Amino acid sequence: MKVFGLAAATGVLLACSFPRMDWEFLAWGALIPLFFAVFGQTPKRAALLGFTAGMVFYGISLSWVTNTLVNYGNIPTVIAWPILFLLAGYLSAYMALFCFLTVQLSRNHPLYFIALPPFLWTALEYLRSTHLEYGFSWQGLGYSQYLNLPVLQMADLTGVYGISFLIVGVNACLFYVFHPRLRKETPWSRYRTHVSVTMFSVYALVIAYGWSVMNAHEEKPVKPLKVAMVQGNIPQQMKWDPQYKQEILNTYRELTVKAAVSGPDFIVWPEAVTPFYFLNDLEGTTAVVTLADELDTPLLFGSPRAEQQGGKWVSYNSAYLLSGDGNIKGRYDKIHLVPFGEFIPWQSVLFFLDKMVVGIGDFGRGEEAMVFNLNGYRFAVSICYEITFPDLVRRPVDNGAQFLVNITNDAWFGKSAASYQHISMAALRAVENRVPIVRAANTGISGAVDRLGRITPTTELFEREVLIASIQPRTGPATLYSRFGDWFCYLSLVISAALGLTAWRRTRPLSSVRPTTPPDGPPT
């Protein structure tokens, strides 16, 4: 059972690396216990150990899911916890596959055992994060470093996945350097210096690049944009209750008038802020349009909308930009929907969920990564969950967007770590594309992120507040990541296959190289 304790330790250390604990330094050694546990094991046993580590990690860091399901989805607690278990199990399957392939392909040959993991992890993390409907980028390893600004800067080349690669590589090298048997036995002992030098050289290059970017002169300065973010803090149970419609509109009117006093270039409201379908509700639509006209200030806001398609009404989660005279200047329809929140997957099997979760229903999917124009600048919008998908966010930047706006409603998360995890991912999107990001939430966390990933002072959870930020739109060329997307992940997929095939052909069978230690524990 000792090896399972080591696997569980990896899960705990990983969980503590992310918000709200924010002990990001732990990530650089969090996988070492897992490597000790799986080295010398059979591939099947290694997979079980990887699954154990994953269940601990995701079970702790995603525990907020139960709060969302129980308090806002009206799902009984006895069902909410199994749903969390299934989600954690799905994500842990990737960690199990990572351990299985590391052992299976390397045949526990020490050098291949440390060379394969960075590429395998990156490839698998990419695969679980990018599926159009069911991808889940949350808690990717690289996000743990959102406060580590020097390391963060490499994301403009490789995306967040390059940071995950670096973390796994450092863990693997440290495992090799400190493993008692590999420190003493030849020929492995002679490679310790090479491994150490390689590890520190790569890490030093990343840090040097980060510092050079952070200390470089700003791009050609342009007139900054002053943005007002309005956080209305409307309780979830009030949003769609008709008796609160006017109260919600009054709240946002008062806060927006307050925001306009500072003379912002435009004002941002959160996701689905209107308690009605924009353009389908005459009274509500008139109130919003009139407000923009009165204040003579462009207004971006989220609202559901509905249109008839094939004889039936289809709803969309949308964002609208109104000009200072109240005219509609553009609309974006959300592309990546939230499973179980905005559509029900596998409806023929999960037919009962439309009765279990109040208000749940299938939304239509947007098709275009819309780029808006404002005061001579171009920007794009992501809605809530979409900010967690690197490739989706980079597309409009590659098409000319100079800054990004993220509108969200984090009231679903309650007072949990989820809102902090959510905004940490926005920091990576800003660095990947070298554009500032403005974020307006119904309740926490509203704020702005600059091109270096620095999160400016933000609102707190469950506060009614107006926040003013000055942002510097991008003027230089698009980053390598913005232009070419997940090239580093494709490379990792290819190298994983090539390195695995090479290791498989050149190493002896697993049993002949397995360390002479008891199968229930690592060398001591």
Catalytic site residues? 271, 334, 384
> What pairing do the DSSP bridges indicate for beta strands 328-333 and 371-374?
unpaired
C-alpha–C-alpha distance, residues 129 and 134, integer Å: 8
Residue 181 to residue 177: CA distance in whole angstroms: 10
Q: Is the peptide bond before 395 cis (omega within 30 degrees of 0)?
A: no
CB-side neighbour CA atoms (13 Å) of 422: 29
**At 221, is the secondary structure helix, strand, or coil?**
coil
Tell which residue, 37, 28, 41, has the closest CA to residue 7. Answer: 37
State the first-to-last Cα distance of the chain, in angstroms, to the nearest integer.
Answer: 15
**What angle in degrees, to the nearest 10, is found between the helix axes of 160-178 and 487-506?**
30
- Asked if omega into 267 is within 30° of 0 (cis), the reply is no
Angle between helices 160-178 and 192-215 (to 10 degrees): 150
DSSP labels, 255-304 = HHHHHHTT--SEEE--TT-SSS-TTT-HHHHHHHHHHHHHHT--EEEEEE
Helix (H), strand (E), coil (C) string for 201-212 = HHHHHHHHHHHH
Residues with Cβ within 8 Å of 250's Cβ and at least 6 positions away in sequence, in order, are none
**What would the DSSP string read from start to end of 144-189?**
GGTT-HHHHTTHHHH-HHHHHHHHHHHHHHHHHHH-HHHHHSTTGG
